[in-house]
Amino acid sequence: MGDLTRIQWTRYRSSGPEVGTPDPERWAPLGFPAPPPDRPWIFGVVVASANGVVAWRRRDARDDPVREILGGEPRLDRIADRRLMRYLRTIGDAGIGAQTVREQPTLILSPQEPGDERAPELYAFRVARGLSHHPRNVIYSLYGRVPSQHPMLTTPGLSTIILTTPAGRSELTRRGIREPAVIVEALLEPEGLERAHARLRAEHGVRYLACEGGQTLFAALRAARLLDEMFVTTTDVVVDRAAHESVLTTFDFVAEGATLVAEGRLEPGGVYTFKRWRFGAARR
Ligand SMILES: NC(=O)c1ccc[n+]([C@@H]2O[C@H](COP(=O)([O-])OP(=O)(O)OC[C@H]3O[C@@H](n4cnc5c(N)ncnc54)[C@H](OP(=O)(O)O)[C@@H]3O)[C@@H](O)[C@H]2O)c1
Q: What is the pLDDT of residues 120-139, one digit of tens each?
A: 999 999 999 999 999 999 99
From the CA of 85, how far away is ligand 1's center (Å)?
A: 18
Q: Say if 49 falls within a structural domain.
A: yes
Q: What is the CATH number of the domain that holds 15?
A: 3.40.430.10
What single-letter amino acid sits at 236?
D
Q: Which helix (H) or strand (E) holds 137?
A: strand 137-140
Which atom of ligand 1 is nearest the CA belonging to 215? 15
280 falls in which pLDDT band (50, 70, 90)? confident
Q: Say if 96 falls within a structural domain.
A: yes
**Which tens digit of pLDDT belongs to each residue from 211-232?**
999 999 999 999 999 999 999 9
**In the predicted model, is pLDDT for residue 277 greater than 50?**
yes
- pLDDT of res. 1: 58
Pairing of strands 160-164, 137-140: parallel
In order of 106, 203, 214, the CA distances from 54 in angstroms are 19, 33, 8
Domains of the chain: total: 1
Question: Using CA atoms, how far apart are residues 244 and 234, in angstroms rounded to an integer?
Answer: 19
Q: Which protein residue has the closest C-alpha to ligand 1 atom 37?
A: 141
108 neighbors 151 (Cβ within 8 angstroms): yes
Secondary structure letter of residue 31 according to DSSP = B
Pocket test for ligand 1, best of 216, 221, 237 (most atoms within 8 A of CB): 216
234 neighbors 253 (Cβ within 8 angstroms): no
What single-letter amino acid sits at 169?
R
Q: Say if 284 falls within a structural domain.
A: no
**In the predicted model, is pLDDT for residue 169 greater than 80?**
yes
Question: Using CA atoms, how far apart are residues 128 and 117, in angstroms rounded to an integer?
Answer: 21
**In the predicted model, is pLDDT for residue 61 greater than 90?**
no
Q: Say if 3 falls within a structural domain.
A: no
Q: Which protein residue has the closest C-alpha to ligand 1 atom 46?
A: 100
- pLDDT of res. 72: 74
Q: Say if 81 falls within a structural domain.
A: yes
Residues with CB under 6 A from ligand 1: 46-47, 54-55, 65-66, 69, 97-100, 103-104, 140-143, 145, 163, 187-188, 193, 212-217, 220, 248
Residue 223 lies in domain:
8-278
- pLDDT of res. 281: 64
What single-letter amino acid sits at 251?
F
Mean pLDDT of 87-91: 98
Q: Which protein residue has the closest C-alpha to ligand 1 atom 33?
A: 140
Q: Say if 283 falls within a structural domain.
A: no
**Which tens digit of pLDDT belongs to each residue from 7-41?**
999 999 999 999 999 999 999 999 999 999 999 99
- pLDDT of res. 284: 38
From the CA of 149, how far away is ligand 1's center (Å)?
A: 19
Listed in sequence order, the residues at least 6 apart from 48 whose beta carbon sits closer than 8 Å to its beta carbon are 54, 69, 232, 233, 234, 235, 249, 250
Q: Say if 226 falls within a structural domain.
A: yes
Which atom of ligand 1 is nearest the CA belonging to 221? 31
Question: Using CA atoms, how far apart are residues 181 and 28, in angstroms rounded to an integer?
Answer: 34
The dihedral region occupied by 130, where left means phi > 0, alpha psi between -120 and 50, and beta the remainder, is left
Burial (0-12, 13-18, 19+ Cβ within 10 Å), 209? buried
Percent of the residues in the chain that have a pLDDT greater than 90, as a whole number: 94
Pocket test for ligand 1, best of 140, 211, 225, 272 (most atoms within 8 A of CB): 140
Q: Say if 1 falls within a structural domain.
A: no
88 falls in which pLDDT band (50, 70, 90)? very high
